[in-house]
Chains A and B, each alone.
Chain A
Amino acid sequence: MLRYIARRLLWAVALLFIVTAVIFVIFNVLPTADPAQLRAGRGASVEQIEAIRESLGLNDPIHVRFARYVEGVVTEFDLGRSIFQNNAPVRDIIFDRLPATIMLTVGAAILWLAVAIPVGVISAVRRRSLLDRTTMITTLTLISAPVFWLGLVALYLFAQDVGVIKIFPGIGAYSEADTFLGKVGAMILPWIVLASATAAIYARYIRSQMIEVMGEDYIRTARAKGAPEGVVVRRHGLRSALTPVVTLLGVDIGTLLAGNAILTETVFNIPGVGGELASAIGQSDYELIQGIVLFGAFFIVIFSLIVDVLYAYLDPRVRYS
């Protein structure tokens, strides 16, 4: 087990290095806007731009710049500085935005699991029933609905300011709320919007996993033992069906924390990492973009590491192979 974890850990480190290199190449070698010129602003003289370039070390050879970049990332987690936010460190901007994204992601994940697991299991156990058919059509609809559209519909229906039924806080409520409970209230609509499509995908996935597992020989054995059907479904069926869901969950949470909640955060004006990324792209704040992308890659690598370790814990066959 320890050897397995050590191996995964080494692999994660190697992966992070490769990712860092690729991102560095994309933003520094491939043609982008000149960061010195962007910093200097309009009407700067050639000498001023050259001075900035020299001070940023942009005239050094590329491998020296990469080494400096990696050193900064490793020693101080220095992800560069924003061009348009007064040279603020990208790291600080991300950490400032991260709590909102974490809250959005974790809440939505709890919500989609809480919905998808029972729906998936019941649909699988009562296959081809009216309930199964209804939920499968509903989930298909939710999967097909784009998040930005779903977000606007949710606001139109339920927001306190513009909604038809004024029950939930609407756009910008997260920034305005100053208590934790207030922030939770502000998150209700975003959670529902972000969770709905994912819940639908998970419900369908869990259903198909469950149908497959319930046809396994060991389920027949459990029944032949005389185990009550509830135990057969939960202890023998669900335990197997949910194991691959862990993989899915790890990747989804990782990408959401990495800024994949960009649409939901934009629609509801939540000051999260995704929203920040959207505005950075709008401004061509390329050092900020680079920082967020690298930071996101870290999250994804770390979460896939967690998934690997968790998987070995859940499936004893992985541990020994």
Chain B
Amino acid sequence: MSAPGTELLSVSGLEVTFRTDAGELRAVDGLSFDLRRGEILGIVGESGSGKSVASLSILGLTRGPDTVISGRAEFDGRDLIALGEEELRELRGNRISMIFQDPLSSLHPFYTIGKQLIEAIQVHRDVRKEEAAERAAQLLEMVGIPDARRRLDEYPHEFSGGMRQRAMIAMALANEPDILIADEPTTALDVTTQAQILGLIKDLREQLGMAVIMITHDLGVVAEVADRVLVMYAGRAVESAPVDALFYDPQHPYTWGLLGSITRMDRPRAAKLAQIKGQPPSPLALPTGCKFRPRCPHAFDRCAIEPPLEPRAGDPAHADRCWLSPDEKRAKRVVEGGEIGLEAA
């Protein structure tokens, strides 16, 4: 066990490649990050940026005959990437748990909530069914499902969307994991339910002292819950920063673009919603040099070589992959009205 505040999970040089009929698809390309005990790390990126694949791969859930995974993911003195399936299985749902985007399709439609919770407990603990059922009811209560004992006998389709995600969270927490990976846990939910689920995850983090990896495409979610943020683009991290630094002093042009494309309720509506021009690169044919270069209005000749992820803004906790100097960045990123964006509309 490591001391509070130190690295719980340390990922370095993670690469995930899928062999497809169209060629080799590099979904994650040299991703490195650390997760500290008790913190919430937000991983942000567009669809296809590799954020889900990376976290699934850490748990071995993308393993298969057509997948090549390399790199390291150290957890509790062991490298999860090199770990055998049986050892990894013992960690899954036990020390590291995961919840997913759509709680309806993620729960088995033919089994009651109780049965699915009991299974999660009994897979890792040698307890009788009655004991497991007792624990399942406690778990449902913990995640704020009223009348828990009765609801154990209900099926997923009898739960509302928010209740289903609560049940998923209860299932993930069944064995008091050290890490909860939440893959877009609020995307399928309406806004008020979203806020409740995020609040619940924050509370449970305090209560249980677990670390959380919050995968999302929504910077609003990150601002709400994360302590630190990793911005992913084309399978790699382009910026890594404490949450305040990311929002107030973003270093990478891609991050500016993400910030610029948030719709703001508290500002007059812009004539046109800002967006990042072009499409994310195909993982089958990544550009050379900086992967964001083809879409970046500030690209210059040095960008033909991909910059490493390092601290450039003076704060050792704030790293990015952009050759521009901090002063140039400050000058270029500010768009009309003090708002951060990629370029003036």
Contact = CB atoms under 8 A, between A and B. Distances in A.
B4 interface: no
B123 to A, nearest CB: 5
A222 B97 contact: no
A315 interface: yes
A316 B157 contact: yes
Contact of A227 (B97, B107, B119): B119
A7 interface: no
B105 A224 contact: no
B107 A218 contact: yes
A285 B120 CA distance: 64
Interface in B43-94: 56, 59, 61, 85, 89-94
Interface in A183-230: 216-218, 220-229
Given A221-B100, A317-B155, A320-B158, A228 B107 contact: no
A243 B108 CA distance: 13
A315 B123 contact: no
B98 A224 contact: yes
Contacts of A316: 109-110, 155, 157
Contact of B157 (A218, A225, A239, A317): A317
A236 interface: yes
A320 B156 CA distance: 12
B171 interface: yes
Contacts of B56: 220
Contacts of B157: 316-317, 320
A97 to B, nearest CB: 40
Contacts of A216: 105
Interface in A84-117: none
Give the size category of A's interface with B.
20 to 34
Contacts of B202: none
Contacts of B158: 320
A320 B89 CA distance: 36
B320 to A, nearest CB: 32
A47 B161 CA distance: 80
Contacts of A240: 108-110
Contacts of B120: 225-226
Interface in B93-126: 93-94, 97-98, 100, 102, 105-110, 119-120, 123-124
A226 B90 contact: yes
A41 B93 CA distance: 81
Nearest to B63: A223
Contact of B106 (A218, A227, A228, A317): A218
Nearest to A219: B108
A224 B93 contact: yes
Contacts of A225: 92-93, 119-120, 123, 171
B76 to A, nearest CB: 15
Contacts of B155: 316-317
Contact of B94 (A220, A226, A235): A226
A314 B110 contact: yes
B106 A220 contact: yes
A224 B109 contact: no
Contacts of B97: 224
Interface of B: 56, 59, 61, 85, 89-94, 97-98, 100, 102, 105-110, 119-120, 123-124, 155, 157-158, 168, 171-172
Given A226-B94, A226-B123, 20 more contacts: A217-B105, A220-B56, A221-B106, A221-B107, A221-B168, A222-B108, A222-B119, A224-B61, A224-B92, A224-B100, A225-B120, A225-B171, A227-B89, A228-B89, A229-B85, A231-B123, A314-B110, A316-B157, A317-B155, A320-B158
